Structure 1
Amino acid sequence: MIVAVSGGKGGVGKSTVSLNLGRELDAVVVEGDLTTADLPRGHGPDLHDVLAGRADPLEAIDRHQAVRVLPAGRTLAGARAADVTALPRVLERIERECGRVVVDCPAGLARDVGHQLESAQLTVLVSTPTESALADALRTRRLALDLETPVAAVVLNRADAAAVERLADRVERTFGAPVIGIEERAAVADAQRRWRAVRDVYPNCAAVDAIRTVARRIERCEKRLSDRIGVI
């Protein structure tokens, strides 16, 4: 199963959600943003090297505490040398060898985000509870559906309980997917600064249950897709 974590607007917390989903799903988290990477650097080759044909994907997977990460480089030259059209093959290889894959997509509808979404069987949309962020997430949803990648869930990040209650019904109707809220917590920000999953640093934080809910939603969608393929 390949899951794309997308949303359109930058700064809404896609990398935080990706890292924590990687922990919950025991997945390899792939930095899908080739120009402005947010996930931690590795200690060897990175996705730029893989997409340029200089390294094997499995060699580039690094471990950050309990989460496996395939990082991307930070140089413009590396991004220019990377063949983004090879990304689907790379993700399929990792899925075949390692199991689940979570792709942290770039912000906006950049030219390469279609490769991440098209490679995935599901996407999780991440937004903050603002009109502009939700509008960007809706545009990403349209692109995902054009690419036949269904939306498993919408994460309202940095949203207090009142905002989730106020927006949930409308967002679920508009996006056609369940809404899970993650409140803004100092514990979440601190864990991300340390490149750790929240559950490994602050196991009693409410965000742990929210991320777990998203993961269980993905697993249910995964089972339905698997059953459908079995029937076919």
Structure 2
Amino acid sequence: MIVAVTGGKGGVGKSTVSLNLARELDAVVVDADLSTADLPRGHGPDLHDVLAGRATPLEAVDSFGSVRVLPCGRTLAGARAANLSALEDALGRLERSCGRVVVDCPAGLARDVGTQLHSVHAAVLVTTPTESALVDALRTRALARDLETPIAAVVLNRVRKPDDELATRVERRFGAKTTVIEERAAIDEAMSQWRPVRDWNPTCEGTADFESLGRAIERCEKRLSGRVGVL
């Protein structure tokens, strides 16, 4: 299965969710933000090289602790040389070789986000509790619907105080299972070292939140298993 982690607004924690979800699913995480990559740099070819035909997806996969990452380059020249239309094929080849794939999408509703949402089987929407972030995430949901990409789950991220009523309202607003992830120092510390919180601090309660998100994706995978090309 290939799942995109997206949501209209920047700074809501998509890369953090992508890295931790990849850990829970034993998936390869792809940094598909061609111009402002957030996941760690690799030691060899990257997504720019793959999309320019200079490397295969497998050649560009690197390991960072327990997580496999296909990193993205940081140069403007690399982004310009990348052929975005090759992304769907690259993700498909990666899925066939490695199993599950998590795609860390850029912020906004730019053309590359549409390409990515069209290239996956399902999406996870990440938002913070602010109204502006929720509105942007709703716009991304609308784009996903236009592309017939189902929303597997919603992540309400960086919540300072647990609020079951808020989570319920968000779930109703988006029409998808919502996982609440509280703002925790351990999650930020783990991300600063490019490590999933499960590896950095297994006793952190955030570990259970990401595990719950992983189960939601697995349930979605089962629902979609009858579609041609999903499994």
Q: Could you say which TM-score interval applies, normalised by the shorter chain?
A: over 0.9
Q: Distance in 1 between matches of 2:3 and 2:227?
A: 18
Q: Which residue of structure 1 lines up, in the alignment, with residue 135 of structure 2?
A: 135
Give % identity: 70
Residues 1:108 and 2:108 are matched in the alignment: yes
Q: Which residue of structure 1 lines up, in the alignment, with residue 174 of structure 2?
A: 175
Q: Check the 8 A contact 1:33/1:72 in 2, yes or no.
A: yes
Q: Check the 8 A contact 1:160/1:182 in 2, yes or no.
A: no
Q: Deviations over 1:46-80 (max 9, x none)?
A: 00000001111100000000000000000000000
Q: Distance in 1 between matches of 2:29 and 2:227?
A: 26
Runs of 4+ with deviation above 6 angstroms:
none
Aligned residues: 229
Q: Distance in 1 between matches of 2:219 and 2:228?
A: 14
Alignment of 1:50-65 (within 5 A): 50-65=50-65
Q: Pick the structure with more helix per residue.
A: 1
Deviation (angstroms), 1:206: 1.0
Q: Distance in 2 between matches of 1:181 and 1:151?
A: 16
Q: Check the 8 A contact 1:19/1:67 in 2, yes or no.
A: yes
Query: What root-mean-square deviation, in Å, do the aligned CA atoms of Structure 1 and Structure 2 show?
Result: 1.2
Q: Which residue of structure 2 lines up, in the alignment, with residue 202 of structure 1?
A: 201
Alignment of 1:181-220 (within 5 A): 181-220=180-219
Q: Distance in 2 between matches of 1:152 and 1:50?
A: 27
Q: Deviations over 1:58-114 (max 9, x none)?
A: 000000000000000000000000001110000000001110000000001011111
Residue 50 of structure 1 aligns to a residue in which SS?
helix
Residue 5 of structure 2 aligns to a residue in which SS?
strand
Q: Deviations over 1:102-153 (max 9, x none)?
A: 0000001011111111111110000010000000000000001111111111
Deviation (angstroms), 1:166: 3.2
Residue 8 of structure 2 aligns to a residue in which SS?
coil
Q: Check the 8 A contact 1:5/1:103 in 2, yes or no.
A: yes
Q: Distance in 2 between matches of 1:166 and 1:7?
A: 22
Single out whichever of 109-118 and 186-195 deviates more from structure 2. 109-118
Deviation (angstroms), 1:227: 4.0
Deviation (angstroms), 1:169: 2.0
TM-score by length of 2: 0.97
TM-score by length of 1: 0.96
Q: Distance in 1 between matches of 2:180 and 2:9?
A: 17
